[in-house]
A and B are shown apart, each in its own frame.
Chain A
Amino acid sequence: DAKTTQPNSMESNEEEPVHLPCNHSTISGTDYIHWYRQLPSQGPEYVIHGLTSNVNNRMASLAIAEDRKSSTLILHRATLRDAAVYYCILRDPPVTNFGNEKLTFGTGTRLTIIP
């Protein structure tokens, strides 16, 4: 699996936007970019995924660089509940070959929200 690089930690003020970066310079043309987060004492939780275009859902937005070597997860208005470890993960497209759907988690970014 291609490797991702994320900052170890970030802080943000409550109710302000948060931009979480991820570098993936060795991404292949078919790799999807996934984001999961793990709140304290909970299992990982899917946030969003994308391939080339920017994506939005109820939880966040994903901005993907034109060369796909980096991406940014955007939380538009952070709340205390968004304090978690955020993981950026690259995956082969699952629709073409159903096999081991293993997620390779790195160390992620620990996001602290300041009240």
Chain B
Amino acid sequence: EAQVTQNPRYLITVTGKKLTVTCSQNMNHEYMSWYRQDPGLGLRQIYYSMNVEVTDKGDVPEGYKVSRKEKRNFPLILESPSPNQTSLYFCASARARAHEQYFGPGTRLTVT
């Protein structure tokens, strides 16, 4: 089954404790992206990647890092999480030059 998976689905952590949210897709997609969703602000793009070793900032990249060492994986790294990074995070992927994008089920992160 074609899908985007994220882990963990739920995470509660404390300020400053490094964490990684994994994202993996099994569709051999070139493009991958991270969004965060906050009430009243909608979905905002954090980072994106057009292929292995090619990443770039989205609209709200501060406080986040990403890497794309393999085509299928695009982890989101929070080196020193802060409470304002409490949010619902979605990973997405797409084939190059395709219309349809596929989203993961989401990771709900709470930073206390």
**Chain A residues at the B interface, C-beta cutoff of 8 Å:** 32, 34, 41-46, 49, 91, 94-95, 98-103, 105-107
Question: Given contacts A101-B48, A102-B45, is CB(A32)–CB(B58) below 8 Å?
Answer: no
**Chain B residues at the A interface, C-beta cutoff of 8 Å:** 4, 30-31, 33, 42-43, 45, 48, 50, 56, 58-59, 90, 92, 94, 96-106
Whether A94 lies near B99 (C-beta < 8 A) is yes
Whether B48 lies near A100 (C-beta < 8 A) is yes
| Chain B residues within 8 Å of A41, by CB | 106
Count, A-B residue pairs, CB within 8 A: 58
22 A-B interface contacts by CB (under 8 A)? A34-B99, A41-B106, A43-B103, A43-B104, A44-B92, A44-B101, A44-B103, A45-B103, A46-B101, A49-B99, A94-B96, A94-B97, A94-B98, A98-B31, A99-B50, A100-B45, A101-B31, A101-B101, A102-B48, A103-B92, A105-B42, A105-B43
Question: Given contacts A105-B43, A107-B42, is CB(A100)–CB(B58) below 8 Å?
Answer: yes
Nearest chain B CB to A51 CB, angstrom units? 10
What is the bound-complex CA distance between A106 and B42, given in angstroms?
Answer: 6
Whether A46 lies near B56 (C-beta < 8 A) is no
Smallest CB-CB separation from A107: which chain B residue?
Answer: B42
Smallest CB-CB separation from A95: which chain B residue?
Answer: B97
Whether A98 lies near B33 (C-beta < 8 A) is no
Whether B56 lies near A100 (C-beta < 8 A) is yes
Nearest chain B CB to A110 CB, angstrom units? 13
| Chain B residues within 8 Å of A34, by CB | 99
| Chain B residues within 8 Å of A32, by CB | 99
Q: Which of B50, B98, B100, B102 has the most CB of A within 10 A?
A: B100
What is the bound-complex CA distance between A46 and B56, given in angstroms?
Answer: 24
Whether A43 lies near B99 (C-beta < 8 A) is no
